[in-house]
Amino acid sequence: EIVPLVNDLIRRTDHVILTQDWHPAGHSSFASSHPGKQPFETIEMPYGPQTLWPDHCIQGSLGSDFHSGLAWTKAELVLRKGFRTAIDSYSAFFENDHKTPTGLGGYLKERGIDTITLVGLATDFCVAFSALDAVKQGFKTTVRLDACRGIDLNGSVEAMLKRMREAGVTLEDHSAD
C-alpha cells in the first residue's frame, strides 16, 4: 500500500537511506526461540521488555528482501538492523538497549544532514523508535504517516504517536492531498 508513496518520496529526495531487518535464524526476538511463547507476547530481556515476533526477515531469505516494487537503487546507504542474535533493533540509530549505536547518527552528521523524514514499517515500532532517537540526536524529524503502516498491539500506534508528538517529531499525513 505504501510503496508508491515511498517511491515518490525517493524520487523527490536528494539523500535516501534504507533500513533492512536482517535477522539470523533463531533470533532472540522470535517467539520460536522461546518454548511455550507465542508471537506478540512480551518477555523480559537483559535490555528490557521485548515483544516476541513471528520469524521474519531472516538473512538472505526472500522475506528479508526489499519489496519488489520499491525503487531502492537510489539509496546511498542500506543499514541492516537486528543482525545481533541476542538483541533486537527497532531504531535505525540504536539497538534496543538504547546504548549501542548503529552509526547512522554519525553518518548523517558527517554528511551535513540535519533534517530527516521517516516512512515505512511499522509506525509503532521501527519508525517511532527511529524518530524518537533522531530527535534525541538533534535531527529535525518528520514522520509521513500516510507512507507508514502500524502493527497496533494493544493501542501501540496511538501511544507511539503521542510519544512522538511530545518529543517534538512532526507528524504529517498527506493522504487527503
pLDDT of residue 14: 96
Give tens-digit pLDDT for 151-167.
Answer: 999 999 999 999 999 99
pLDDT tier at 21 (50, 70, 90 boundaries)?
very high
pLDDT of residue 163: 98
What does the pLDDT average to over 27-36? 98
Average pLDDT, the chain: 97
Residue 78 CB neighbour total at 10 angstroms:
13
- CA pair distance 87, 47, nearest whole angstrom: 8
Tell whether the model's pLDDT for residue 177 goes beyond 90: no
